[in-house]
């Protein structure tokens, strides 16, 4: 039986040009290094794609574009990318995919049509009319959505998962869920949405806090999903 594609992307968060290194086995990650070192630490654990968050840019500080190098993985960059200038700078990093902000919907619809699979659109699952916004972007050529639940609690758990399930049912584009994974049980719950269009999950604090290892996350769905469908850089 053919397996559904599912990518698990560990997060590397850049602050002041530095990022946390992946923990070796169980235990909290306390070591920091260069961005390349942080990315490579996940590559050594089997990650072909890494989700890079430029926290300085999100905090209104100088972005870290010059610190971003592949380290042996495809990169999905997320910062403040909301116009042509910020998108051009993000693309210049060499990241395989850029997550853009749809707050300026007119610009975002143009960008997805021009850049195709090089960009994905980041959406908050709780923003008003999110399905209508996604539909407009889809018609303009959007290739993928990265969906986050910014609720203070629950984050895809229990009843909140219906929001993501409903979103997946309303689009025929691939959907990636970001955050909200605290335990392997949360990951198992999201696995149920893979047949409905979920093909990526971004893993953040749980990997660094010792809740589970990256290899355990892969093993949790290895019998049902192709975790390496996208493959490593060529």
In this model, does residue 27 exceed pLDDT 90?
no
In this model, does residue 21 exceed pLDDT 60?
yes
pLDDT, residue 201, reads 95
Question: What is the pLDDT averaged over residues 217-227?
Answer: 89
pLDDT band at residue 234 using 50, 70 and 90 as cut-offs: very low
Signed CA dihedral, 186, 190, 191, 192: sign only? positive
Q: What is the mean pLDDT of the chain?
A: 90
What tens digit of pLDDT does each residue of 60-105 get?
Answer: 899 999 888 877 899 999 999 999 999 999 999 999 999 999 999 9
Question: What is the pLDDT averaged over residues 189-215?
Answer: 93
Q: What percent of the chain has pLDDT over 70?
A: 93
Q: Domain map of the chain by residue range?
A: 4-226
**Which of 138, 133, 162 lies closest to 149, judged by CA?**
162
Signed CA dihedral, 231, 232, 233, 234: sign only? negative
pLDDT band at residue 179 using 50, 70 and 90 as cut-offs: confident
What pTM value is reported for the model? 0.93
Query: What superfamily does domain 4-226 belong to in CATH?
Result: Aldolase class I (3.20.20.70)
Parallel, antiparallel, or unpaired: how do β-strands 198-203 and 145-148 relate? unpaired
Q: Give the span between the Cα atoms of 162 and 74, in whole angstroms.
A: 30
196's CB contacts (< 8 A; 6+ apart) are: 165, 168, 169
Question: What is the pLDDT averaged over residues 197-206?
Answer: 94
């Amino acid at each position: 039986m053919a397996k559904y594609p599912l990518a698990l992307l560990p997060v590397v968060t850049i602050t002041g040009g530095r990022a946390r290194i992946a923990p070796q086995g169980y235990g909290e990650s306390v070591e920091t290094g260069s961005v390349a070192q942080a990315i490579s630490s996940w590559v050594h654990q089997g990650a072909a794609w890494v989700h890079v968050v430029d926290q300085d840019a999100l905090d209104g500080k100088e972005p870290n574009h010059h610190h971003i190098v592949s380290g042996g993985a495809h990169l999905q960059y997320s910062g403040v990318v909301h116009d042509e200038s910020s998108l051009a700078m993000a693309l210049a990093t060499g990241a395989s995919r850029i997550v853009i902000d749809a707050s300026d919907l007119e610009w975002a619809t143009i960008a997805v049509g021009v850049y195709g699979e090089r960009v994905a659109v980041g959406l908050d699952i709780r923003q008003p009319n999110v399905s209508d916004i996604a539909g407009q972007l889809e018609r303009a050529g959007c290739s993928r959505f990265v969906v986050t639940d910014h609720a203070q609690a629950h984050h895809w758990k229990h009843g909140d998962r219906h929001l993501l399930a409903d979103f997946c049912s309303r689009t025929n584009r691939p959907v990636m869920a970001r955050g909200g994974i605290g335990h392997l049980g949360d990951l198992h719950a999201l696995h149920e949405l893979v047949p409905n269009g979920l093909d990526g999950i971004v893993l953040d604090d749980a990997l660094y806090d010792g809740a589970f290892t990256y290899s355990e996350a892969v093993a949790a769905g290895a019998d049902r999903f192709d975790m390496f469908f996208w493959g490593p850089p060529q």
